[in-house]
Structure formats: C-alpha cells, structure tokens
Amino acid sequence: MAEEKCSHLWEMVNVASGLAVMKKCFRCINVSTCFTFHNKAPLESCHEGEHFWNFMESEPSFHFDLECIKCGALVKFDELVGLMMCTGCDQKCEVDILRRKLEPEHTRVYIVLGCRPIDERRQLSQEKMSILQDYFSQHCKSIESKIKIVSHEMVRNFESCYATVIENMEMLFAVPSKDAHC
C-alpha cells in the first residue's frame, strides 16, 4: 500500500535572534551576506579565499526552521540570512513591479535574503521557497492581507535596496495600516 502524502501544517522551531550582516570585498567589489547568532556586529575584516571582506552594515534579524506538526518533518533553513519586506524603493526592480501588481489584493512581498555572493554560496532551493510560501499562506488566512515570498535574486540592485529587514516573528504577520505603502 502506498504511503499517504502529508498535507503539511508548518510551525516555526529553533527560533533564534541575531544579525543579518553585509560585507564587501575591496578586491572584487562583491557583497557578502550572512547570518550571525551574535547580537554584536563583526567589525573586523576577514580573508576568505580570494576575498578580503570588510564590514558594511548589519540589521537585527532572526533564524528559524520549520517543522510539520502532523508528520514531524523538519526543514532547516541554514541558507536563509533573513526576510525583508519590499518597500517599493525602485520602480524598475522586479520585486517592486510584483509588489505593485499584488497591492490591490493586499499582498505584501517578502524577499528571502540568502547568502551572497549568489554564485559562491548555497541558495534556498525552490522546494524550500515553496515550503516558506506554504507556511505564510497558512498563517495569513486569519488576517486581512497575504504574503508573497520571492528570492533575493529578483532584486535589481541589492546594494541600494531599502527593503525592511524583518527583525522578529511579531513583524512577520503584523497587518500594515491602511495608509501604509506596504
């Protein structure tokens, strides 16, 4: 007899606060992003392969995994640096174009900030992106808005993006005021 597929009901587990950190290599000008479980920014420069990373900035963020409360499946999100809510800072950016398209449906667009440089670090798989979308969809049923999850690879110019970094779980599902842009 074939196993029945679980219709997952996800909950956040292993929640921890920390920082989303941005560094820049003075040699190649690439930007690096990572999550640190410390609440103190790593201000010292570091060497990694051909890169010489210098601290640029950090924002409070949090890390989490998702676990199905029905079957116990655990999905780890080690590739996730943080979540950011699009604020509409660049009308030519694919993310803002999508945000404006979904705005009449009261949908906020969250950017999954992964580890950068993109071509050197493991990124969230499409399967994990879908699981995140499922998680947000199941929680948005009780509020007046929806959330759409997109990859940071859609951001036109990451260095000039003014998306709001989500600092904690309470910010995830806070309903924006009717006058707010997002």
Tokens at residue 164, please? Answer: 């709001």
Q: Which domain holds residue 52?
A: 10-172
Beta bridge partners of 158: none
- Tell me the whole-structure pTM to 2 decimals: 0.84
In a domain, 90, yes or no: yes
Cα separation, 110 vs 166, in Å, equals 9
Q: Is residue 5 part of a domain?
A: no
Burial class (CB in 10 A: 0-12, 13-18, 19+), 129: middle
Please, are residues 42 and 21 in contact by the beta-carbon 8 Å criterion? yes
154/156 Cα distance (integer angstroms): 6
Q: Which residues contact 27 (CB under 8 A, 6 or more apart)?
A: 50, 51, 52
Q: Look at residue 177 and tell me if it is in a domain.
A: no
Q: How many domains does the chain have?
A: 1
Q: Given a cut of 80, is residue 123 above it in pLDDT?
A: yes
pLDDT for res 81: 95
Q: pLDDT by residue (tens digit) across 60-114?
A: 999 999 999 999 999 999 999 999 999 999 999 999 999 999 999 989 899 999 9
